[in-house]
Structure 1
Amino acid sequence: MYSLVKTTGKWDVSWQHESKPCRIHSVCGPNSLCTYDPYNGRTCSCLPGFKIKNHTDWSYGCELESEINCNRTRVGFLWILYVDFYGYDIRYISNSTISQCQKECMKLCNCKGFMLRFVEWRGVNDCFTKFLLINGHHSPEVNGIFDIKLPIDRMFLFSNNNKTQNVSMLDCSGLGPVVLDRMYEKNSEKESLIRIWLWFATGFGCFEATCILMVLYYLYSANQGADNTTQGYILAATGFKRFTYGELRKVMHSFSEEIGRGSGGIVYKSTLSDGRVAAIKQLNEANQGEAEFLAEISSIGKLNHMNLIKMWGYCVEGKQKLLVYELMKRGSLAENLSSNQLQRDAWFEIAIGTAKGLAYLHEECLEWILHCDIKPKNILLDSDYQPKVADFGLSKFLNRGGGGLNNSSFSRVRGTRGYMAPEWVYNLPNTAKVGVYSYGMVVLEMITGKSLTGTLSFDHGGLTSHGRLVTWVKEKMNKVAATSDHSWVEEIFDPSLGYEYDINKLEVLVRVALLCLEEDKDSRPTMRQVVEILASLQ
């Protein structure tokens, strides 16, 4: 908003919606920096060693002037002060030195640089290695240094006193002139035309207002006995439809068609008034306050990914809290595993699709979202067996600026026995790696056909033991490798999934699952790394 200073005749910025416009997601594109000051506004510039990709649009960002190979002797690091790139972390290392952080980034080919941030309340430095340089901004508030990986032959061009690139101006010469009318021209012809339009607009406005009043009167007459909180439709800030409890009870025929239940609540099948077939979940956690419930709904509304279940609406009236989702025709992964319904190679598409959905939650959202109950019941399948992660009732939404993935605010154990990471047992800080662990268990259960819902008893192949599925798989792998020439894949793969399968795909998938199930959370890969490995097999 601009205000006119009468004494000088100039316009000054007196208010703006975003006080820090450089914190807007991807405003300058990859490998670029956003800088803002009140006089010149927001500007974009490329990182040292990079050049602008599209001279007419900064959203494309910048690209390397010369490629970086994986030879450690040919690359180095250039440090830049007061710069931060939030999100897209490969790994987070607490209480780290700059040399430790450099070594960690150097041994990873996909590491583009790292942020070493000083945490005042702990008095230590934390290291964040990055696989993408997005959301970059320059600000004196940044408490740390950023090191960018560059080829050795390019580093000498940037001295310690000249580490920022000149701001690349956009070339808009080919877009044609834009002419703005800045003066009001007064003449009798224009005044007559304006007068006619004003009379027309006034008449049309009166007619429209009359129609609206008639519709409102009709709605009021039809629902005059209803409570004020249940009249009409209220759109949440997310765009969801807010249903009334009576409305949902009617379309569900008084909760008559139950299709599933769990610790979070009961799920019913229903057809909405607009003809859409929905799954409506009645939540058990009635003690959750309305404000807390609506805040979580708002966070879910920001999610948009093909491998996450889509929510259509909700209802909150007193202790009654319901969620309205799209209905998945194939049901849950658990149902398909128990009924041997999976088609050939569908298991691989389910594994990679689930990984993509979790990677989005862990790394691509502006808030970190930890889904604390990953299991086959919470992975739903559409008509083409494409997976969608569901049930965010046990999710934890963490602000990136408030402790992030190192936040240990969980006060009680969450999840399902058999899929829970060791961090819950040892009361360690809970990070995205708890979801990585649960994903590994789901993949092994899907491939082996061994259920984790009860006591594990394995007598397949002459081996009888009671214990963890991971131990059983590793024993099979070691035993076949020592005594037989056939693949250990044949020993652990569930025959009900089909006899025609790609052994190489299956072997890589099992090894990735075992990496996800490492006891040490720092030894587990991120979900983004899992996606990259599996995508290379497609």
Structure 2
Amino acid sequence: MHMLSILLLPLLIIISYSQPILTTTNVLTQGSSLVVKKGDHLVSPNRLFTAGFHQIGQNAYLFAIWFTELTSDGSRTLVWMANRDLPINGKRSEIFLSKTGNLVLSDAGQQIWASNTKSTSPLQLQLLDSGNLVLNQVKVQTQSYIWQSFNFPTNTLLPNQPFTKNTVLISSRSWTNYSSGFYKFYFDNDNVLSILFKNDVVTSVFWPKPWLIATEAGRSTFNNSRFAFLDSRGKFTSTDNYSFVTSDYGQIVPRRLTLDVDGDLRVYTLNQKKWSVSLQTTSLPCLIHGSCGLNSICTYSREIGRICTCAYGYKAKNRSDLSLGCEPTFNVTQNRENYGFIRYPNMEFYGFDSSYTPGISLETCKNTCLNDTNCKAVQYSFDPGMGVFKCYVKIMLFNGHSLDSVYTTYVKVPKSDVLAFYQKIIAKESELNCSSTIIEVERSYIEKTPNESIKFMLWFSIILGAIEVALFLVIYYTTKQLSSGETQSYVAVGSGFRRFTYDEIVKASRKFREEIGRGGSGIVYKGVLLDNRVVAIKQLNEATQGEAEFLAEIRTIERINHRNLIEMYGYCAEKKHRILVYEYMENGSLAEMLVANRLDWQKILAIAIGVAKGLAYLHEECLEWVLHCDVKPHNILLDLSYSPKVADFGLSKLFERSAVEGSSFSRIRGTRGYMAPEWMFNLPITSKVDVYSYGVVILEMITGKSPLQMQQSSGENSGRDQTLVEWVRDKIRDEGVEEVVDVETCGEYDTKSLKNVLKIALQCAEEDRDARPSMSQVVHMLLHPDFDD
């Protein structure tokens, strides 16, 4: 026996070294780490949860928390991830609790994720029985943790985990890809729990139903504390009055609430190593936005599940991921004569209507689409309440489905695709197998006499004629009433802008509650549309001047499309109301950023280039020349990434290219301090007035000085206000370039780049308009500072 042990000893040593050495501990103390290679773990005292490194690829790991018990198929159920979008490798990677109290996840020495915490007291990292990973003080029994994973959920809530206004759930990209997906569960600005779909093309709330107001959806907007949680018995409650109980309510068993990859919010219960759904928010998967991607149609059956198919004339972008949608197989820039329509009965696509017109024929509806290059399809249906047919022009095919739809959709594709589509249908019908056996059926019948046939045809003709006359009268009077009516809910301006009713504007702006800006032409409010898009709502002054500016903006904006020009979603022209609805810019105006000193040199340079590109497009690339005439920081808006967009075309004027030099204005336009000398001396107005204003704006960004607040100059200029342009020229001549820079505004800057931008700005602000460059030349000089003209 002793001899056998000696013989087996080497074998046991080999086996032990062939298996990973797992280090399991209850806490991680300061100065210690969990290492990927060793497979180190933290385990909760009740052993229900484990925290450690989960392998997701050949050499890719996530630091995560999961249920300790494996499911019947041997897989782990992850409930939290630190680095879901940036996996680490298996070599020299660890999570480390530093002496200063910071929990750091590193990939071969490079920091990937951190808790960003500090403490002078001794800390420890501990996994609690609830599944909450916490940083707390050693030997201090308190619920006030320095950091806890419950405050930063990924796609899952555990029982009794608080869900607040500061937390969100983000779905995973797929069932095997844990990176951030397309769906977001959160409290919206109205304190209502919502689910949002967002990809590179579409942002859309679908739960609760976006066309319902909160009370209609059974929600309340009055409690702004925004708090929800799932208790240990299976009941979910929220401050917006949304609540539910699971099908197994009352049992205290392992549960989780997860926002799944398909956009459905489900509660799962663990029973005998299997997760079963005990509640789900959406029973019809095809109504979940983005379930099949753009240009596709969703069908569902209990036996097969959800099926995504491309609309005819389109093909899948990626056959392994149908959520990416479909793309056209044809050239979308063809002439209208080359297009036809494929009919999809009882088919509906959600939203994105560029126009809605009641009381028109199907042929007129189709022609509206053919005349619109952005139109992808039309939806046509009969409204029994109004007694008319309704036509919706679709500029995007999103969330196609046939669930209880009363619409017939006509998808616009090339005529060759239309022919091929119907040839396939005919071919399928001809493939039906018919038996060659002839079966005789004895049947007696009474032959009609000639007189009876003539009577039948006569009565049939009379009835048919009466129906045609009645239908003509109904359509005629309905169309006449609509054309003479003062307002319509949805009217296209020509390029797809939506016409809002005043009631819709009042609701979107919450009775014009939040003012975000004002100017000479009106006040701007923040609003939220039914599809949850945050917008800027500009209410123009009721004076004649305001109405003229409104019409000018509509005529101008419907012709332009550029990434550095503000996008308009629609307008309202009802009675005395003149309102514009724009995209909302998160960082407000450039004027606000200058006052708050929230810019640096890189942002200033990017803003200068972006504004120049936008103005160059207006001046030189539009179908007609467009002069802005009021370029200033207040009319330059910044999005979340500080990308600039030129706004407020209310003071603009259009010119045909051939008539620029002879242009004239009925009154001076613009803002004092930014206006070109041409306005003062009654000289012809050209695009160079915008170039001058642009130069002043650039100087204001660099110097931090407003041209409206310049102090009186000294010396020979004493007694009158010195302009910003004059001040910069004097400073550079007497003291050098560096003396004009506001370090607080610009921060660290590159001297060579600064000199180039200053040179361009001063050239733009020359008194002689002929000495100023065009905006396209400005763009070129900014992008190619070393280029020698």
TM range (shorter): 0.5 to 0.7
Q: Are positions 1:507 and 2:737 aligned together?
A: no
- Tell me how far 1:319 sits from its aligned partner: 2.2
Q: 1:465 to 1:489 in 2, by over 3 A?
A: farther
Partner in structure 1 of residue 129 of structure 2: none
Pair 1:528-2:780 in alignment: no
Map of 1:232 onto structure 2: 489
What residue number does 2:673 align with? 418
TM-aligned CA deviation for residue 464 of structure 1:
12
Aligned counterpart in structure 2 of residue 272 of structure 1, from 511, 529, 535 = 529
The aligned runs of 1:300-311 (5 Å cut-off) are 300-311=557-568
Check the 8 A contact 1:359/1:528 in 2, yes or no: yes
The one of 354, 363, 370 equivalent to 2:627 is: 370
Aligned equivalents of 2:587, 2:546: Cα separation in 1 = 33
Letter in 2 for 1:535: L
> 1:173-322 alignment to 2 at 5 Å?
228-284=485-541, 286-287=543-544, 293-294=550-551, 296-322=553-579
The residue number in structure 1 matching 2:611 is 354
| CA distance in 2: counterparts of 1:465 and 1:299, whole angstroms | 38
Which runs of 4 or more aligned residues in structure 1 lie more than 2 Å from their structure 2 counterparts after TM superposition? Answer: 227-232, 288-296, 453-459, 463-466
1:427 aligns with 2:427: no
**1:322 alignment partner AA:** I
Could you tell me whether the CA contact under 8 Å between 1:286 and 1:320 is conserved in 2?
A: no
1:323-472 to structure 2, matched below 5 A, reads 323-401=580-658, 403=659, 405-457=660-712, 466-472=721-727
Change (3 A) 1:457 1:276: farther
Give the deviation of 1:228 after TM superposition: 4.8
Shift in alpha-carbon separation, 1:295–1:491, aligned structure 2, 3 A: closer
C-alpha deviation, 1:231, in angstroms = 4.3
The separation in 2 between residues aligned to 1:499 and 1:252, in whole angstroms, is 37
Q: Which amino acid aligns with 1:302?
A: R
Instruction: Measure, in 1, the Cα distance between the counterparts of 2:499 and 2:511.
Output: 19
1:355-381 CA-partner distances (Å, limit 9, x unpaired): 110000011111000001000000001
Counterpart code for 1:437: Y
Match of 1:100 in 2: none
Q: By how many angstroms is 1:286 displaced?
A: 3.5
Paired position in structure 2 for 1:74 = none
Superposed displacement of residue 469, structure 1:
1.2
Q: Secondary structure at the match of 1:397?
A: strand
Task: Assess, with a 3 A threshold, how the Cα gap between structure 1 residues 490 and 464 changes in structure 2: closer, same or farther.
Answer: farther
Could you state the TM-score of these two structures normalised by the residue count of structure 2?
0.37
- Identity level (%): 56
Closer, same or farther: CA 416–283 of 1 in aligned 2, 3 Å: same
How far apart are 1:400 and its partner, in Å?
A: 2.3
Q: Deviations over 1:324-346 (max 9, x none)?
A: 00011111000000010113411
Distance 2:739 2:547 in 1: 51
CA contact (8 A) 1:233 1:242 kept: yes
In the alignment, is the contact (CA less than 8 A) between 1:361 and 1:370 conserved in 2?
yes
Unaligned runs of 5+ in 2: 1-330, 334-414, 420-425, 431-477, 479-483
| Separation (CA, whole Å) in 2 of partners of 1:431 and 1:244 | 37
Does the CA contact (< 8 Å) of 1:238 and 1:298 recur in 2? Answer: no
For the Cα contact (< 8 Å) 2:552–2:649, is it kept in 1?
no
- What's the secondary structure of 1:268's corresponding residue? strand
Q: Which has the larger radius of gyration?
A: 2
Secondary structure of the residue aligned to 2:778 is helix
Tell me by how many angstroms 1:230 deviates.
3.7
The amino acid that maps onto 2:635 is: N
Q: Which amino acid aligns with 2:523?
A: I
Q: CA offsets per residue over residues 170-194 of structure 1, 9 Å max, x none?
A: xxxxxxxx999x9xxxxxx99x97x
Q: 2: distance between equivalents of 1:432 and 1:238?
A: 25
Letter matched to residue 495 of structure 1: V
Distance 1:500 1:291 in 2: 45
Matched to 1:446, the amino acid is M
How far apart are 1:290 and its partner, in Å? Answer: 7.1
1-structure distance, mates of 2:508, 2:631: 30
Q: Is the 8 A contact 2:600 2:747 kept in 1?
A: no
Residue deviations 1:405-439 (CA, integer Å, cap 9, x gap)? 21332010000000000101110100000000000
| Compared CA separation, residues 448 and 370, structure 1 to 2 (3 A) | same
- Give 3-state SS (helix, strand or coil) of 2:706's partner: coil
Q: Which of residues 484, 497, 500 is equivalent to 2:745?
A: 497
Structure 1 residues not aligned, in runs of 5+: 1-56, 60-177, 183-188, 194-219, 221-226, 481-487
Q: CA deviation at 1:292?
A: 8.6
- Aligned-pair distance for 1:264? 1.4
Q: Report the CA distance between 1:519 and its aligned residue.
A: 1.0
CA-CA distance at 1:496 after TM superposition? 1.2
CA 527–249 in structure 1, closer or farther in 2 if over 3 Å, else same: same
Question: Given that residues 541 and 547 in structure 2 are in contact (C-alpha distance below 8 angstroms), is that contact kept between their aligned partners in structure 1?
Answer: no
Maintained 8 Å contact 1:286/1:319: no
Contact kept, 8 Å, 2:611 with 2:644, in 1: the verdict is yes
SS at match of 1:315: strand
Using a 3 Å threshold, how does the CA distance of structure 1 residues 289 and 356 change in structure 2: closer, same or farther?
closer
Aligned residues: 314
The separation in 1 between residues aligned to 2:727 and 2:677, in whole angstroms, is 18
Whichever residue aligns with residue 666 of structure 2, its letter is S
CA distance in 1, matches of 2:727, 2:599: 23
CA RMSD in angstroms comes to 3.3
Aligned to 2:544, what secondary structure does the other structure show?
A: coil
Deviation string, structure 1 residues 484-517 (Cα, Å, up to 9, x no partner):
xxxx232111111244211111111111111111
Partners of 1:247 and 1:458 in 2: how far apart? 52
Where 1:329 maps in the other structure, the secondary structure is coil
Shift of 1:322: 0.5
Q: Go from structure 1 to structure 2 and tell me whether the alpha carbon gap of 1:333 and 1:384 turns closer, same or farther (over 3 Å shift).
A: same
Aligned partner letter, 1:314: Y
Q: Which has the higher strand share?
A: 2
Letter in structure 2 aligned against 1:493: V
The 5 A counterparts of 1:92-241 are: 228-241=485-498
Contact conserved, 2:556 with 2:649, CA < 8 A, in 1? Answer: no
Which residue of 2 is the match for residue 517 of structure 1? Answer: 765
CA distance in 1, matches of 2:560, 2:702: 29
Q: Normalising by structure 1, report the TM-score.
A: 0.54
Closer/same/farther in 2, CA of residues 298 and 282 from structure 1, 3 Å limit: same
Return the structure number with greater helix share.
Answer: 1
Q: Deviations over 1:233-283 (max 9, x none)?
A: 122211001001111012212111101101111000011111000000011
